[in-house]
Structure 1
C-alpha cells in the first residue's frame, strides 16, 4: 500500500503523537480553557465582520476581486466561518465521551477560522492593490504570489510529515522546533495583533491615506504582509495534525500512555461509566 500522511500504522504514528502532545491535550481539555476557546472563535467572527465593512470603501473605488463584487467572496467566507464555528460547538457535545480530543477539535476549528480570516484579508488586499494596478494586474500578480506560497507550503509540509512518519527525522528537527515556537507565539499574541490591526484601521486619522505615496506603498505592500501571514495559518494546521492519529488510534494510545479511562475519556464518558458497572 502506498504510504501517505493519512494511512500510517500505530507504530509509525508514534513518531508524531508524542507524550508532550498527549499531555497538552489533557491540559487543554479543562472546562475553563474550553470556554475561553469558544470566546476566541467568536472574536475571530467579530473581526471578520468588522473587516467586511471595508467593502464599502473598496466599492467606492470601483475595484473588484476576480471581476466579482467584493461582497460575494466576503459573504461566502463569513458564512463558512460561521458554519465552522457551529460545527465546533456541535463537537463539544461529544467531548464528554472523548475528553482527550477536545484540543484536537479546537485546533481544527481554530485553524480553519484563521485560514478563512486570512483569505478574507488576502481578497481585501488584492482588491485594494487594484486601486493602484487595476483589477486585472492586481488579481494576476498577487494571485500568482499566493499560489506559489500554497504550493511551496504543501510540498514542504507533506515532506515534513512523511519524514516523521516513515523516516528517521523524528519531531525534534530544527524545522519543527521553529514552527512550534512560531505556533506558540501566534496562539499567545495572535489575538492581540489582530485587535491592534482593527484599531489602526478604524480609529486612525485619514491623514495617512491622504498621502498619495504612503497610500500607494501600503496598498501594494499589504498583500505581501498577508502572504507571509499564511505561514502562521499553515503552522497552526500542522500543530493540529497529530490529533488525527490520536483519534484514529485512541484506545491504543490510552493503553500505551498508561492513563485511566476517567483521565482519558472523562468522568462523564460512556466508557468510564460502563467500566464502573463491571
Structure 2
C-alpha cells in the first residue's frame, strides 16, 4: 500500500503528537474540556455561550462588514479611494453564507462521540473564520478593483492559491516524514509552485509599485499610499489565514481523523473510561462498546 498521511497505523499516528502546533491545540483543548466538566450545568452553559457568541460574531460582526461596504457605496463620491460599481458583498451573499454555516453546525450535531466534541466546536470556529475572510475578500475586491483591474485581482488570487498549494505540499511532506519517520523528497511540482508564487508575487508587486509611482507624479500621492497600504494589508491577512489552515489546522484534524479511525486504541492510550471517551448518550445507543470495558 502506498504510504500517505491517511493510512498510517495507530503506532505511527502517535508520532503526530510531536507536532508543536498540535501540542498547543491539544493542551488548550484539554484545559477547556476539564473546566467545562467541573461546572455544575455544563450543557446549559455551553448552549448559552454558543448562542451569545453566534449572535455577536457570525451573525453580528459579519453583518456589520456588509453594512460598512454598503455605506461606502452610498458615499462613494466622497471617498479618497475609488470603489467599484460592481456590488459583490451584498445582503444575499451574507444570508447564503449564514445558511451554509448554520448547515455545517447542524451537520456537526450528528457527531455524538465525546472525544470528538472539541474538534467539532473548533470546526465551527474555523468555518466562521473562513466565512469572515470570504466577506473581507469580497469587500476588498470592490475597493481595489478600480486600481488593480480584473486581471490584477485574478493574478492576486492565483498567486495566493499557488502560495497555499506550496504551504499544503510542504506540510504534507512534513507530516509524512513525521508519521513514518522517513525523509520525503520535494517534487518538481512543489518547486514549480514555490517559484511561481515567489516570482509571480514579486512581478505583481513591481507592476503595482510602478503604477502607483506613476500616480504619484500625476498628483495622487495620498490615494496611492492608501491603495498600497490596503493591498498590503489584504495580502498579509490572506497569507496569514492560509498559513494557519495549512500549518495548524491540517495536523489538528489529521489527529482527529486518527482518533476516529482508532478510537479504542486512543482511549486506552489516554487512559479514559468508556463513559469519559464516548459519553453516556452515545453509549446508550451503542451498547456493543460496553464489551470493551
**TM-score, structure 2 normalization:** 0.63
Structure 1, residues 160-198: CA drift from partner, whole Å, max 9, x if none?
Answer: 2212222259xxxxxxxxxxxxxxxxxxxxxxxxxxxxx
Identify the residue that residue 247 of structure 1 maps to in structure 2. 260
Structure 1, residues 33-61: CA drift from partner, whole Å, max 9, x if none?
Answer: 67545644544312222212344335855
Identify the residue that residue 83 of structure 1 maps to in structure 2. 100
Aligned mates of 2:254, 2:56 — CA distance in 1: 24
Structure 1, residues 201-222: CA drift from partner, whole Å, max 9, x if none?
Answer: xxxxxxxxxx534432333323
Identify the residue that residue 225 of structure 1 maps to in structure 2. 236
Matches within 5 A, 1:198-209: none
Structure 1, residues 218-244: CA drift from partner, whole Å, max 9, x if none?
Answer: 333232222232223444423333111
C-alpha change, 1:257 and 1:114, in structure 2 (3 Å) is same
Identify the residue that residue 100 of structure 1 maps to in structure 2. 115
C-alpha change, 1:24 and 1:221, in structure 2 (3 Å) is closer
Identify the residue that residue 189 of structure 2 maps to in structure 1. none
Aligned mates of 2:171, 2:248 — CA distance in 1: 12
C-alpha change, 1:71 and 1:121, in structure 2 (3 Å) is closer
Identify the residue that residue 215 of structure 2 maps to in structure 1. none
Aligned mates of 1:111, 1:157 — CA distance in 2: 19
**Aligned: 1:125 with 2:140:** yes
Aligned length: 230
Aligned mates of 1:227, 1:243 — CA distance in 2: 25
Aligned mates of 1:34, 1:101 — CA distance in 2: 17
**TM-score, structure 1 normalization:** 0.66
Identify the residue that residue 181 of structure 1 maps to in structure 2. none
**Aligned: 1:165 with 2:196:** no
8 Å CA contact 1:81, 1:113 repeated in 2: no
Q: CA deviation at 1:62?
A: 5.5
**Aligned: 1:265 with 2:281:** no
Identify the residue that residue 203 of structure 1 maps to in structure 2. none
Which secondary structure does the structure 2 equivalent of 1:53 belong to? helix
Aligned mates of 1:264, 1:58 — CA distance in 2: 52
Q: CA deviation at 1:116?
A: 2.5
Matches within 5 A, 1:1-278: 1-16=1-16, 25-29=29-33, 30=36, 31=42, 32=45, 36=49, 39-45=52-58, 46-56=60-70, 57=72, 60=76, 61=82, 63=84, 69-71=87-89, 75-76=92-93, 79-92=96-109, 94-95=111-112, 98-133=113-148, 135-167=149-181, 211-230=222-241, 231-238=243-250, 239-270=252-283, 274=287, 275=290
Identify the residue that residue 191 of structure 1 maps to in structure 2. none
Structure 1, residues 80-113: CA drift from partner, whole Å, max 9, x if none?
Answer: 4542344335534643xx1111111122222222
8 Å CA contact 1:84, 1:112 repeated in 2: yes
Q: Structure 2: which 5+ residue stretches go unaligned?
A: 37-41, 77-81, 184-221
Aligned mates of 1:269, 1:240 — CA distance in 2: 21
> C-alpha root-mean-square deviation of aligned residues, in Å?
3.6
Aligned mates of 2:249, 2:94 — CA distance in 1: 18
Which secondary structure does the structure 2 equivalent of 1:8 belong to? coil
Larger radius of gyration: 2
